[in-house]
Chain A
C-alpha cells in the first residue's frame, strides 16, 4: 500500500491558483526531490504535507487517512533556517524531543528519565557528528553544523516522513557534499520517506530516487494566476541513472527559460 497519495489536490489563494491537478502515490522508502522555479508552489506543497497550509480541493492522504490539519510527530521537518531553538544547547535541542513526549505537563525530564533521554540524544548526535559540541548554543555553530543539529532533532521522534525545505540552500558547496552523504545514509538506515525541496538540480538527481518538477501546466499571458503549477515531470531516477545527466540538463533549461 502506498504511504502518501494525492488525488486532484489543489491550492488556491482567492482567485490565485497556486497548485492544481496534483495526482501521485509515493511508496514507503522513496526519496522524492522537488525542483521548480521560485514561486511555483513547492513550499506550499510542503506546508500542506506539514499541515500548516489548508487544502482547497482534492485529497492528500497518508496511510490512507486524510493528512491532519496541523504538524505532528509522524512528519519531521528541517527548514532552511530557524530550524533549531536558539535558547537551547545542542544537547538541549535534541533531548527536548524525548522530554516533550515523556513529560506532558512540564516538558522537562529529571534524574533517571533525563539520563535515558540523554543517551538517545547522544546516539543521534553521534550519527550526525555533533557529539563534541553538546554544550554549544546554535549561534556558536556554523551553518552546516546547525543543519546537522536540525536533522538530528527532526529524527529524534523517528518520523516515517521527513520533509526538507531547501535544507542546504545556505551552505557552501563543500559542506553540502558532506550533508548529502549524511542525509543519504540516514535515509537508508532509518528507512525514511523523504520529500526534499531544492534549487539545485544536480542535488535533486544525486539524492532522489524520484525527481518531481513543479511547473505551470498551462500559461495564459492575459491571466497568469488562472492556472496553477502541477508535477510536469515525474522521473524515476533510481532505474534510469544513465539518463539522469541529460534529463537534469533539460530540466535546468526548462526552468530557467
Chain B
C-alpha cells in the first residue's frame, strides 16, 4: 500500500469524486424538500425543483407589467454592467499604481503605507458616505466596488513586482534600458497575468459589494431582486437567483483563466493540473 499522499485518483475516478459532493447536496436538499412538502404542500422554505424551475422560467420570459422589462435579464444586465465597470476601473488603476509602486522606490515610499492603511478600511462601513456623496444611483455602487478591491489589487501587484528577481532589472539596465523602459518592458508584461489572477480572487469581494449596495438602494439588479422577495419568503426566486449568480461568477472566472493561459503561456508553466 502506498502512502496516502501518493495516492492520486485517475481521470474517471476524479470526475466521479468531483461530482460526489454536488450529488450529496442535491440528495439532502431533495429529501428535506419532499419531506416538508409532504407535510405542507404550501411550504415556501424548501421549494421543489419543479416549482423553482417554473418561477425561474417565468422570470426569464415574462415581462414585468409595470416596467415592461423581463426581470431576469434586466437584473442580470444591470448587475453585470456595474460589476464590469467597477472591476475594469479597479484593474486599470491597480495596474497603473502597482507598476509605479513596484518599479519606483521613490513613489513607493509615500504611497505604499497609505494603500496599506486604506486597504484596511472596511468598504461597507463607508457605504453610507458613498450614498451621501454620490446619491443612490449607479455611481455609488461602482465606487464601492472600486474602493473595495483596488487597494487589494495594488498591494498584490506591488508585491509581485518586488518578488521579480533583481537580476531582471539589472539585466535590462545592462541592455541600456532607462527607468521607464524597465517598467514597461520588464515589469508591465509580467504584472499583467498577475493582475488577471488577482482579479479572479477579487471578483468574490466585488460581487459581495455589488449585492450589498443593490440590497440597500436600487431599482433593479440581482442583489436587489433577492432582497426584494425576501419579505415574501420567496425561496423559489432566491435559490435560482443564487444559482444564477454562481453560474455567472464561474463563467467570468473561467473566462479570465482561459484568457490568461492563452495570452501568457509562460506564466502558467508551474501550475499543476489541480484546478
Contact = CB atoms under 8 A, between A and B. Distances in A.
Given A100-B176, A157-B176, A77 B171 contact: yes
B168 A85 contact: yes
Interface stretch (B21-29, B183-191, B202-210, B227-235): B183-191
Interface residues of A, number: 36
Contacts of B177: 100, 107
B253 to A, nearest CB: 23
B174 interface: yes
Nearest to A47: B170
B175 A157 contact: yes
B264 interface: yes
Given A79-B167, A86-B266, A137-B266, A70 B173 contact: yes
Contact of A73 (B176, B181, B184, B186): B176
Contacts of B175: 73, 96-97, 100-101, 153, 156-157
B178 A71 contact: no
B172 A76 contact: no
Contact of B176 (A79, A101, A106, A138): A101
A177 to B, nearest CB: 25
A107 B167 contact: no
A24 interface: no
Nearest to B268: A139
A86 B176 CA distance: 19
A82 interface: yes
A8 interface: no
B168 A71 contact: no
Contact of B174 (A76, A87, A99, A106): A76
The binding surface of chain B is classed by DSSP as helix
Interface string B96-134: 000000000000000000000000000000000000000
Most buried by B among A86, A99, A101, A138: A86
B9 interface: no
A68 B186 CA distance: 22
A157 B165 contact: no
Contacts of A77: 170-171, 174
Contact of B167 (A75, A82, A104): A82
A122 B264 CA distance: 24
A215 B143 CA distance: 61
Given A139-B266, A157-B175, A85 B170 contact: no
A107 B170 contact: no
Interface of A: 50, 52, 70-73, 75-77, 79, 81-88, 96-97, 99-101, 104-108, 137-139, 153-154, 156-157, 159
The 5 A-B pairs with the shortest beta carbon distances in the complex, nearest first, are A71-B173, A82-B165, A82-B167, A73-B176, A107-B181
Interface of B: 165-168, 170-178, 180-181, 184-186, 189-190, 264-267, 269
